Amino acid sequence: MSFSIATSGLNAITEQLNAISNNIANSGTVGFKSGRAEFAALYAQSQPLGVGVTGITQSITRGGAINATGNGLDLAISGNGFFVVRDSAGTTAYTRAGYFGTDSNGNLINSSGMNLQGYPVDANGVLQVGSVGNLTISSGSIPAKPTDGLDFTANLDARAEKPVTATFDPKDNTSYNNTYATQVYDSLGREHTINQYFVKTDENTWEVYYYMDDQPLTNPASQTLTFSDQGILSAPNGAVELSIDIPGAQSLSVDLNYTGTTQYGSDFSVSKNKGNGYASGEKTGQQIDEDGSVYATFSNGERMLQGQLILANFANPNGLAAQDGTTWMQTVASGTPLTGAPGSGLLGAIKAGALEASNVDLTSELVGLMSAQRNYQANTKVISTNDSMMNALFQAV
């Protein structure tokens, strides 16, 4: 009996050594989760039969260090969750290994060629939350967008006096108090400059004159700004619509919004000046935010939403079945996946330009290796001792 018990020990320790050696071999594998052999004593009623390995369990919930790589499509999860990937046969898998790139069609794929899953966008760039599919980054250019809105917030100096020259002339800086230039774009992507000239006409009252490319606008030519005795803008209450005819292009209709503009006893300053137009641009790269939003970036400084990747979590992540060292499949023990955008609920955030390293603790594995070696030697000693005893018994007969 002792022969079989010692043999069961040797077999179990061999499986333990396999698990340890696999961990050590994958200590540099991105997204790898270390495994360990689980031992259990074997009995036939009260009769000991040795030891067996009930399974190799992986430490799926224990994260590895996040290391920066500088590659924008290398992704790491800071917190809970798994990337959702799908192969060409439609089989879904889950991984923490964030090696991603694009194929010839712009699809986001991992190093095994599986498609990254997420919420796509429609033809208008609107995110289709709830509809999960392959994420694709467009390779085309972005057309020009004419400016149709401009948010302008400033402080006009309440200490200012009326200009020395009563008749406004943009070429005479004594006929106005302040000026500010803003770039806008027409339907062809050409850049134009709108100048605003601020003239104090009375206490708490200012007149703003509009020029574009050094030519006066006519609709409207100017706009009156009035402030309360507390320096808050009283009028206009809404946006001022500037209508501008441009040769060879569509007429511009720009809603100029002065919301938040004040008149306090401090120097003239502009805190916000943001228009929504831009010139055409060519794709230069891609960018992924912490919430998983995927953007294509363009040479004109703009970026266009391409989709949003999703993460999945499980009631029992350790119940997932390993496909290989870095991807897992759903099982009854793991439960059904709970999917959502990164950063929502209990799901972690995305770190772009970084990868999650293996969670293997080399020091612990080497200590385990020495312990397994001693246990192996002890079991071989049992067999050797039992053999000696059997030989002594046969010689005595």
CATH of 149-275, one of 2.60.98.20, 3.40.50.800, 3.40.47.10, 2.40.37.10: 2.60.98.20
pLDDT score, position 374: 92
Phi, psi (5° rounding) for residue 197? -115, 120
Distances (CA, A) of 379 to 67, 345, 372, 386: 42, 50, 11, 11
Q: Which of 311, 357, 345 is nearest to 66 (CA)?
A: 357
> 35-44 and 47-58 as β-strands: parallel, antiparallel, unpaired?
antiparallel
pLDDT tens profile 205-264: 999 999 999 999 999 999 999 999 999 999 998 899 999 999 999 999 999 999 999 999
Rounded CA gap, 76 and 261, in Å? 43
What is the residue extent of each domain of the chain?
2-61+358-396, 66-142+282-356, 149-275
pLDDT of residue 46: 80
58 contacts 318 by C-beta, under 8 angstroms: yes
Which portions of the chain are predicted below pLDDT 50?
A: none
* pTM of the predicted model over 0.95: no
The per-residue pLDDT for 397 is 59
pLDDT at residue number 39: 87
pLDDT at position 367 is 93
Position 301 scores a pLDDT of 87
| Adjacent-strand bridge partners of 283 | 298
**C-beta separation of 157 from 265 below 8 A:** yes
Interval 227-244: pLDDT, tens: 999 999 999 988 999 999
Element (H, E) at 22: helix 2-25
How confident is the model at residue 227, as a pLDDT? 97
Cβ-Cβ contacts under 8 Å for 372 (sequence gap 6 or more): 13, 16, 17, 20
Beta bridge partners of 269: 155
Residue range 92-122, pLDDT digits in tens: 999 999 999 999 889 999 988 999 999 999 9
Beta bridge partners of 42: 50
Q: Give me the pLDDT at residue 20, please.
A: 92
- Cα 8 to Cα 394: distance, rounded to the nearest angstrom: 25
Give the per-residue pLDDT at 94.
96
Beta strand pairing call for 338-340 and 303-309: unpaired
Q: Which residues contact 284 (CB under 8 A, 6 or more apart)?
A: 297, 298, 299
Q: Residue 177: which of 159, 193, 197, 196 has the closest Cα?
A: 197
